[in-house]
Amino acid sequence: MKRLVLAVLFLVPGMARAERYFLHDAGEFQPFGYGVEFYDRFGWRSYQVDFDFDLDIANLTLGRDSRLKLRIDKRGGGHWDYSCKTGGRRSLNANVNALYGQGISVVADCRIDNRSFAKAVALDPEDVGSPQLVFQALVNNGRVLPGAQRGIDLRAGGPGTASELRPYVLANDDPAGLAVVFQSSASLP
């Protein structure tokens, strides 16, 4: 009984430090300077992201119940959904940093399953490389807003990357080179 009480006493302060945040972001895609934009080539019309996360501010980490959900609406109807979760089969990772005078930056990323992404672009799973979903949230004074790093990057998955995707693959694995950049609607606060 004493061990149970001690365990509860040690767990409660750790749980109290985490704060729950939710961010909904929706919009279209930002033109990036390619001859044919990724979203045009594959018939993507708009996106929606729901980022629901526990933030342990003291340790700058995400809690185990954090989840990132993406929905891509396609031209002509239909959509593609993908989600990932911390500690889940589709693992969500995060880089959490305090920004002086600006709050906390949470840059979440997860690798997108090849089979799932292949459905989104109507290609074979062997031809899509290694897509990655990236989403940044900025937390300041209890408010959460979308950051600048939001989109999908493509990494070469070996020699099988389809010619349709080669122009969008990251050069030198530079994480700043997103192939698809999310651009929020004007309706966001």
pLDDT tens per residue, range 130-154? 899 999 999 999 899 999 999 998 8
- Tell me, yes or no, whether 148 lies in a domain: yes
Question: Which residues have CB under 8 Å from 91's CB, separation 6+?
Answer: 84, 85, 110, 111
Residue range 42-80, pLDDT digits in tens = 999 999 999 999 999 889 999 988 999 999 999 989 999
Domain count, the chain: 1
**What's the domain range around 118?**
19-184
Would you say residue 4 lies in a domain? no
2 within a domain of the structure (yes/no): no
Say if residues 61 and 84 touch (Cβ distance below 8 Å).
no
Does residue 3 form part of some domain? no
Compute the Cα dihedral for 41, 47, 52, 53 and give only its sign: positive
In a domain, 11, yes or no: no
Q: How far apart are CA 136 and CA 104, in angstroms?
A: 10
Q: Is 3's pLDDT higher than 50?
A: no
For residue 102, the one-letter residue type is Q
Structure tokens at 105: 């930056």
Lookup: tokens for 125 = 């799973």
Indicate whether this model's pTM tops 0.75. Answer: yes
161-183: buried (b, 16+ CB within 10 Å) or exposed (e) per residue? beebbeebbbeeeeeebbbbbbe
Tell whether 43 is covered by a domain.
yes
Residue 119 lies in a domain: yes
Band of residue 90 on the pLDDT scale cut at 50, 70, 90? confident
Residue 6 lies in a domain: no
| Sequence letter at residue 82 | Y
Q: Please list, in sequence order, all residues whose beta carbon lies within 8 angstroms of the beta carbon of residue 186, skipping any fewer than 6 positions away.
A: none
Nearest residue to 72 via CA among 111, 33, 104, 42: 42
